[in-house]
Each structure stands twice: as structure tokens, then as C-alpha cells.
Amino acid sequence: MVADPATPRVPMGDERFVFNIVWTGDTFTHLQVFTASVLAHCGARLRFVGNQCPPSQLDAMARFAEAHPGRVVEVFDLGTTRMVRHGDALDTVRARRDDGEFFCLLDPDILARGPFLDRFAALADDHEGVTSGKEVWIESNVRPDGHPGVNGEVFFDRDGYVFGSPHFAIYRRAALDAAVERWGVGFSSSGDADFAPGVRARLEELGRGYWIYDTGKVVNILMQGDGCRFVHEESPDLVHIGGVSHFLAPPMTPEGEAPVWGENVRDWHRWDGMEVRYAAAEFVAEVIEATFAGRPVPAIPAPVPDAIRARLERLVADVAGVARRFGPGHPGYAAPG
């Protein structure tokens, strides 16, 4: 059973870490229970970053913060008229906020089964970048042979090189800032269209020249090229679903504006390689909704391969458990107004 976040286990030093969670649309309604489980198992603090979230969601975030005193440092609304890329949101926070020694990020569809932060804190003593967060729907986080890009779910190159994860990360702030300033890059840097002069040549020189890069990959490569140490490690007590925010709140074009970067695609399961990811995200969202409503959990959908099906079967108890423990009826749950 997950502990109550009102009385978390708070090891000395956990407060050094402020994890930035980017919330999109109305995802806070469902996924705040995952965040509550994270608070229950560490003493870190959080910043909620609103990315095209309606006022009712921002208000719910503020009430969640009030119910968990000292644990949410800020509800930071990006104030944009459209949903921006995850990397753009992180770049904005990094430029406008300074939480001290570390810059940290955490996806909203990550839950905690038990204490998890001590190991990552120890790794952060010896590395400039520490990442985690393998998705439940994927078999391998190694770049496929011949693949021209570095997707978000690709954490390693074929030779073992660490690209890192954009889902859970702890950076040493000074090293991150130095790379951003030296190379003119950020978490959102994805390809030649937004590379500053010299970046493409440097990536090629480092042997990591690819066509396109997902959130944080470019800055991670350049930091390592400058001598920084990176490590990626999984924890059995930290569970990342992957894709739930995109399922619950796909980016949509504001009325009267032209579409950009993959907006207006609700049926993204039709994209190549996305069927299993979509099915897993949809299933987890349905488990949360069913638990909130007191209904039986649904069956795992057919497109899911047997190996991943077994993971989802084990995951049901975790998802239903945090939804039951921290959902409607719990004093810390903040229903949207």
C-alpha cells in the first residue's frame, strides 16, 4: 500500500531536488494520483508547469499544493495560447527559474511503488546527468540499427553510449547551463532547423550525428562531449507508463490559427510503431477512470504483445492502487472546479 503523502518519508537532502512536471491540457485530473505516490516515497519538491491547461486545472494544481504544504514550490503557467513542445516548456522553466544545484524533470505518468530517490541522489554525486524512466510498452531502449533519429524512448546507442531519458532526469545545473550557453542549444533542440552554428559539426565529430533528436538528446550529447558524465539506470520502485498525457490531451490547434508540430491527431495509434504505445496509454487511463468510479478494471487490449501484456497485468494493481488511495475521496485529491 502506498503511504500517505501528508506524512512522507523525508531523507535529509531530498529537498535539494525540485522536479519540474509539465502538465498538458486536463491531464492533472487523472494523473495527479501518480504524483501523489511520488511525494509519498521521497522528500523532493515539485514545480507544476501548466502547458495550455485551462483555469480549472491550474486551480486544481494550486489546491493540490495547498493540501501538500512545502512539497509544491510553484504552479508555473506558461501562458501560451497553444500547447508547446515538452522541450520548449523545459527551456522556459530553466531560463526563468533557478532551484540551486540541480535542474530536475519528471513526467506526470510516472508513479512510485516505494522509496526511489536515494539511489539517484547517490548517482548525482558522481555524474552531471542522471536519467531513468523506461516505458512499460517498449522492449528495448537501444537505437534500432539504421534508424536515422534518436526518439524519446531511445536511451542508448548501439555501442552503449548514453543518450539519456527525457522522462526522469537530474542535471547538475552549472554543467547544464554551461552547455546551453556554449552551444546555443536547449531541451527543444531537435535538428538542423534550430541548431546554432557549429552544433551539427560537433555532433558529427562526436559520432552522434543523426537526422532528428527528441527532447534533451542534443544537450545530453554535447554535455558529454564537454566532459560531463551521464548514467541511465532503472528503479523497480519508479514506474513510467509513457504516452498517457499524449492520449489524454493530444495537442490541438487553437481556433483561427494554423496547425504546427503534429497537432489535431487524436488517432495517433495509426502512426508507424505507435499502436502498442497508444493501447497501453489508453488502458492505463481506463484503469484510472474505472477505479475513480468504483467499476471493475477493463481487459488489456488485443494489440499488446504477450511480453508487454504481462507487464500491464502486474501494473494494474499499481495503477488501481494509487487511484484508489489518492483519488476522489482522499483529502489531498484536487478535483477540477
C-alpha to C-alpha distances, 63 to 6, 70, 75, 245, 309, nearest whole angstrom: 14, 13, 10, 21, 36
pLDDT tens digits for range 83-128 = 999 999 999 999 999 999 999 999 999 999 999 999 999 999 999 9
- How far is 332 from 60, CA to CA, in rounded Å? 11
Mapping DSSP onto H, E and C, the string for 293-330 reads: HCCCCCCCCCCCCHHHHHHHHHHHHHHHHHHHHHCCCC
DSSP-derived letter for residue 162 is B
Nearest to 106 by CA among 24, 156, 26, 166: 166
- How far is 215 from 159, CA to CA, in rounded Å? 21
Model pLDDT, residue 138? 86
Model pLDDT, residue 7? 45
- How far is 180 from 86, CA to CA, in rounded Å? 17
Grid cell, residue 33, equals 494520483
pLDDT tens digits for range 276-288 = 877 888 888 899 9
Q: What is the pTM of this model?
A: 0.92
- Give the Cα-Cα-Cα angle 136, 155, 43 (nearest 5 degrees): 70
Q: Where are the domains of the chain?
A: 14-232
Q: Which residues 6+ apart lie within 8 Å of 107 measured at CB?
A: 21, 133, 166, 167, 168, 240, 242, 245
Q: Which segments of the chain have a pLDDT < 70? A: 1-13, 251-253, 256, 259-274
Residue for cell digits 493540501?
A: 67
Grid cell, residue 175, equals 554543467
Spell out the CATH class of 14-232: alpha beta
Model pLDDT, residue 8? 45
